[in-house]
Amino acid sequence: MKALLKALGGVTAVIGAQWGDEGKGKVTDILAGHFDVIARAAGGANAGHTIVVDGKKHIFHLLPAGSLHRDKPVVLGSGMVIHLPTLLGEIKTLEDAGIEIIDRLLISPAAHILFEFHKDIDGALEEKRTRGIGTTRRGIGPAYMDKAARTGIRMERLAENLKVYLDERAGDLRRVYGIAVNVDQELENLARAREKLRFTVVESLPALMADFLSRKKKILIEGAQATLLDIDHGTYPYVTSSSTTAAGALQGIALPPAALSSCIGVVKAYCTRVGSGDFLTEETGERGEGLRKRGGEYGATTGRPRRCGWLHLPDLKLSTAINGFTHLNITKLDVLDEEENIPLGVGTGLSGEASYETLPGWKTATAGITQFKKLPINAQKYIKFIEEFSGVPVSLIGTGPGREEIIVR
C-alpha cells in the first residue's frame, strides 16, 4: 500500500471505466484513510455506492463512501445536483451510527438543489420516450436541464424564501407536463435542510480547494456514474446528464487539471449495465443469470437487476484514453471463480458483434485473497491479459465486498 500511495501522489480521482457500479465506493473507502480530504464532484442520488465494513453494509448516494472516516473533511462539489431529503437521510444514518459529519461537511454554493418536481419530470419524460433510457428516476436529467437553462437554484440560495420561484415553476410544470408540484412539501424540505445544513455551505469552492492544495492536503475524489455514461463521451442518449470522467471530476470540484496526480480506473472483472442502451458483450441467458446471482448484481439505488456480460477491452481502452488512467482497480474477481472459461471482448466484427478471446477459468475460490501470488495462475493470467491490452498497471484487485478483501500490488 505504501508504494501505491506514493505513486498516487496528492490528488487522486477514482473513476468508473464502464457503465457504473464497478465498485468505486469500496476503493474510495479503502484509500480514504490515507487521504486528508474526501470529495464527490458530480452527479446526484442516481449513484449508489455500497461498502461493507466489519460485515455491515453502508450505502451512499450523495456523500462519498469515504465519509465513514471520522476526522476527514468531506466536500460536495459544484458539479453535483443535491436532493436535500436524501442528503439529510444519509447524514442521519451516519449520526445514528455514532459518526458525526456536519462539522466536517463542506458543500459548494454552486451545487444545484434537486427538487421533488425534478423527479416527476424525469418520470414524465421517461413515459414519453418510445425507448426509455431507463433512468433511475431520481430527477437527474431535469435538474441538469435547469442548470443548463440557468433556471436552477443553487445551494447558495438555501437561506432564501423560495415560495415565489416554486409557485411559478408549479404553474409552468402544470402546463407543460401536467405535473402537480407540491409547493408546501418543497418548502418544508428546504426549511429542514436549512436548519441542518446552514453552516455547511462554503463561501467559495475554488478558494476552499486552493487552500487545501496550498497546505499540501491529499485529496481523493470519488467519481460517480462512469465513463460510458458520460454526457459527452458515453453511449448517448443512453447516458446520464453529468460529466463522469476525470476531467469532469476536476471541473466539478474546482481543481485545476494539472493538480491531478493520478487517476484510478475502476473496472469490474466482467461487465454490467442498468438501464437501456447497447451492451455488445451482454449475456442474456443462463451465464448472465449466473453472473448476476454470484455478483449480487441488483442496483443499490433502484433494486433493478443489472444486465450482465463480459469485459469489453476496446471500451476499457476508450475509457483509458479519455481519463488517462494511471492505475486500474479490477473488482469482483471472485465472482468469476466458478466459470469454466471467461470470454473477453477484444474487438468488433463486421456486423457490429463482439469478437472474443476466451481465457480458461480457475475454478478455485479467490474470495478474500490479499496477495497476488496466492491467486490461481489462471486468475493471474486473466489480470495480466487486461493489463497488457489496456497498457495500465492493475494495482488493486477486489476479491470480495469487504474492506479487507483486496490485493494491493
Contacting positions for ligand GDP (CB under 6 A):
16, 20-26, 48-50, 52, 296, 300, 331-332, 334-335, 398-401
Nearer to ligand GDP, 17 or 208 (CB): 17
> Is the Cβ of residue 151 or residue 370 nearer to ligand GDP in the bound state?
370
Q: Minimal CB distance to ligand IMO: which residue?
A: 275
Print the binding letters for residues 144-173 with ligand IMO: x by CB under 6 A, - otherwise: ------------------------------
Match 432564501 to its residue by C-alpha cell: 160
Going by the DSSP 8-state scheme, the letter that residue 319 receives in this structure is H
Q: Measuring CA to CA, which residue among 159, 152, 168, 199 is closest to residue 44?
A: 152
| Residue 16 interacts with Mg ion (CB under 5 A): yes or no | no
Residue 249 contacts residue 221 (beta carbons within 8 Å) = yes
* Catalytic residue check, 71: no
The answer to whether 49 is a known catalytic residue is yes
Kindly tell me which residue out of 84, 229, 269, 386 binds ligand IMO, with binding defined by CB under 6 A.
229
**Contacts with ligand IMO: how many residues (CB under 6 A)?**
23
DSSP symbol at 304? P
Segment interacting with ligand IMO (CB under 6 A) among 71-79, 205-213, 222-230, 366-374: 222-230
β partners of residue 60: 49
- The DSSP line for 335-392 is GGTT-SEEEEEEEE-TTS-EEEEEEE---S--TT---GGGS-HHHHHHHHHHHHHHTS
Q: In the range 40-99, which residues lie near ligand IMO by CB under 6 A? A: 46-49
Annotated catalytic residue, options 49, 58, 112, 233: 49
Q: Does 245 bind ligand IMO (CB under 6 A)?
A: no
Among ligand IMO, ligand GDP, Mg ion, none, partner that 134 touches (CB below 5 to 8 angstroms by kind): ligand IMO
| Residue 23, binding choice from ligand IMO, ligand GDP, Mg ion, none, Cβ under 5 to 8 Å by partner class | ligand GDP
C-alpha to C-alpha distances, 260 to 4, 129, 220, 325, nearest whole angstrom: 15, 39, 10, 11
Instruction: Give least dist CB 355 to Mg ion, A.
Output: 29
What are 247's three cell numbers? 476531467
Residue of the chain from 74, 140, 221, 250 that contacts ligand IMO (CB under 6 A): 140
User: How many separate helices (H) and strands (E) can be counted in the chain?
Assistant: 12, 16
The Cα 298–Cα 194 span in angstroms is 34
Q: Tell me which residues touch Mg ion (CB under 5 A).
A: 21, 48
